[in-house]
Structure 1
Amino acid sequence: MTEGVAHGQLAGLDQIDGVGRDGVRGGYSRHLWNDSDMQLRSWFVERAEQLGLAIEYDRNANIWAWWGAPGDDAIVTGSHLDSVPGGGAFDGPLGVVSALEAVAALKRDGFAPSRPFAILVFAEEEGSRFGVACLGSALMAGAISPDRVRALVDAEGQSYADAARRVGFDAAHIGRDEESLRRIGLFLELHVEQGRGLIELGSATAIASSILAHGRWTLTFRGQGNHAGATLMTDRDDPMVTAARAVLEIREAALAAPGARATVGRISAVPGGSNVIASTVTMTLDARAGSDDETRDLVADIAQRVGASEFEENSWSPEVAFDADLAARLQAALGGVPALPSGAGHDAGVLAAAVPTGMIFVRNPTGISHAPQEFAELDDCLEGIEALVTVLKGLL
């Protein structure tokens, strides 16, 4: 069993347990550059430096912790620290904590890497503040326009560029980072499973085979704002009614497409008064299916069904097939653990277009993610760390 683990929780998860707790939603709300995110970033730097790792910040606000001198063709592992609103304790932080624990175990064993190695913590994986997932990795890989990112605004109307400036980060140089990409020989991400696959397989760990194609859209419905008491029901042009029907149509469209998933996670009304008929209603749509074409077909069906005034694409992530050679090496090193597709997006999936990437999943006994009930048993977390140690020994 790996040393340095607290009873009941991994030591690192225990240390950050109180950071970003959400008293309204439950769970945690840790978003890029808010107070909790800044605390977590500082915590990671402190933990990494205690292990003798050297810290670097790249042009896209990602944090690197190097074991030895930085260099090209490095083995890189890590994940993210931010969360969805009211998220669980494991999504993201488990991968970061496990990477730190793996380094600690390797150092205790007297292991010395023969090639460059780093832990990488990505910025804004969940997209909860600025609406676009995997910003740190997407910028690095050149998958999103820097000008678009600088202009993104949060719920309070603050732009990415202004938010960066407030924490001392210069957003002028964000974008595709050839130096960082050249340094990554391969990237390996450990992550809690976000589903029931490992429960059904009876396995504590697995590797990822693929990621479903997915994207996010904003739907806008326009009507006529008016007085809630003075306007007869027959005289109304109420976009909230249209939006409500749209939610049901979105569900029906997804049910009609085998294996598809479609979610309306947020709805807002303008002007938002309790005694005012809305003039505008906006909602978010998250749509996913097995392939690019299936997802695009699903969204086209939804667009035809709902009749939104505007249907804007916010982000798009094509289907990802993880590097087959790396997957075979991982399975061989880990004794033939199962391979699972992922319905969730990950930084490893974004980087897969630029560098070889792979993932190790750790069982989630609730099957719940992006909610306070997300969980992983300590013994399974330890198996995940042991798997990461085994793989890193073979790669380094």
Structure 2
Amino acid sequence: MSGLDAIAGIGADRRRGGYSRHLFDDAEQQLREWFVEQAEKRGLSVETDVNTNIWAWWGPPGPGAVVTGSHLDSVPGGGAFDGPLGVVSALEAVDLLRERGFRPRTPLAVVVFAEEEGGRFGVPCLGSRLMTGTINADHARNLRDPDGRTLAEALRAFGADPARIGRDDTALDRIDTVVELHVEQGKGLVDWGHPVAVADSILGHGRWRFRFHGQGNHAGATPIDDRNDPMVPAAQLVLAARRTAAGTPDGRATVGRLVTNPGGTNVIASAVDVHLDARAPRGARDMVQELTGQAREFAAQEGCRVEVVEESFGDTVHFDPALRDRLRGVLDDVPALPTGAGHDAGILAAEKPTAMLFVRNPTGISHAPEEHATAGDCEEGSHALARVLADLAG
């Protein structure tokens, strides 16, 4: 896709591979500028809301809008398609509709949501959570990035007013329907042998931080039986997460990040943060409750203590069945698939009729450089999105 090719050099991560594009960093700001340029080139009117989500309008902004789009940020070392494919496809769908002489009877908007991956401030779908009020604005303002900078400070540096973030009824009142296109983050469409699908549901999921406190000390001068090493219960928790998830129906538990303090090779850590992602159709919090009990036992055995903080959580989302079936009808009865990945559409589903389209990922890999979608399947996705938008806004 020409749009993806145009941004392929932005945020490339030479150390990890793939892309690292995080809220308000140089790469993410370049992508914002690219999106605004592309939207204005198409004659769309652009505005940035109080939560720094960007809106590009075909027609005057107002109630009854059909909204599409996705996000432009990434996880550390992520793939090229997760997020940007939905934005590029939305712009291409606008082009396709115009080529056909289509004119929307209701406003149509392409949106770029901020901080969907939570790669900088740790909370996924932050832009849509703020817009819908599903995260407390005071709590959000005090979120800190890995360098200790608060979201409030980052907003000011970006030129936004941190006092204004939070539930945005002005934006919500304009929306009638939301359709987000996304590369599939799994192999469902490979198994179906189909390039496009409609989403059925999203697994309930959340993020937790387990902080193990011990006694920092010298790695060479401290005998093994005289240690209170927080890395030991942290390591035990990593293994316990795998066991607990394996015993939970369709459960997933992942430790994707460990942060040690002070972080020296020849230093026994004084504290270790274990960042846990837990997901299940039902019982994600039950898994974490079980793991919390085990973490306390592991910590006590090593003479350490542990604190547990829930950073975000969302119940299982079932997309609007009438809208889902309408899209399937428009697209000649394409498959309906569940997903274990979270999306801004999942946050908005509690407020508005919401749907998603998936584009086939032949590797089944996502959040990694090997994430992929063929040019032909991406084109199928853009055409499918155009058909859906024509049906909803025509």
TM-score grouping bracket, smaller chain normalisation: over 0.9
**Is 1:37 the equivalent of 2:37?**
no
**How many pairs does the alignment contain?**
385
Deviation at 1:256, TM superposition (A): 1.1
Give 1:340's match in structure 2, choosing from 337, 341, 364: 337
> Aligned residue for 1:297?
286
Match of 2:137 in 1: 146
Cα distance between partner residues in 1 of 2:365 and 2:314: 22
Q: CA deviation at 1:23?
A: 0.8
Letter in 2 for 1:110: G
Q: Give, in angstroms, the shift of residue 274 of structure 1.
A: 1.4
Q: Tell me which residue corresponds to 2:321.
A: 324
Write the mapping of 1:35-114 to structure 2, written as runs, cut at 5 A: 35-114=26-105
Q: How does 1:217-256 map to 2 (within 5 A)?
A: 217-256=208-247
Aligned Cα root-mean-square deviation (Å): 0.8
- 1:176 deviates by 0.5
Structure 2 residue aligned with 1:276: 267
- 1:341: how far off? 0.7
Q: Deviations over 1:152-189 (max 9, x none)?
A: 11011111111111121111101111111111100100
> Which residue in the other structure is 2:308 paired with?
311
Kindly state the Cα deviation for residue 258 of structure 1 after the two structures are TM-superposed. Answer: 2.2
Distance in 2 (alpha carbons) for counterparts of 1:229 and 1:305: 29
- Once the two structures are TM-superposed, the CA of residue 275 in structure 1 deviates from its matched residue by 1.2
1:22 lines up with 2:13 in the alignment: yes
1:136-285 counterparts in 2 under 5 A?
136-285=127-276
User: Under a length normalisation based on structure 2, what TM-score does the superposition of the two structures give?
Assistant: 0.97
Q: What amino acid is aligned across from residue 355 of structure 1 in structure 2?
A: K
Segment drifting more, 217-226 vs 186-195: 217-226
Structure 1 residues 380-391: aligned runs within 5 Å:
380-391=377-388
For 1:258 and 1:304, how far apart are their aligned partners in 2? Answer: 20
Which residue of structure 2 aligns with residue 365 of structure 1?
362
The secondary structure found in structure 2 opposite 1:310 is: strand
Q: Could you tell me how far apart the structure 1 residues matched to 2:389 and 2:154 are?
A: 36
Structure 1 unpaired stretches of 5+: 1-9
List per-residue Cα deviations over 1:267-316 (Å, max 9, x = no partner).
0111111111111111100000012xx21211112112222611110001
Question: What percent of counterpart residues are identical?
Answer: 59
For residue 4 of structure 1, what is the aligned residue in structure 2? Answer: none
For residue 374 of structure 2, the aligned residue among 372, 377, 391 is 377
- Measure the CA separation in 1 of the matches of 2:226 and 2:148: 34
**Partner of 2:256: helix, strand, or coil?**
coil
Deviation string, structure 1 residues 349-368 (Cα, Å, up to 9, x no partner):
00001111000000000000
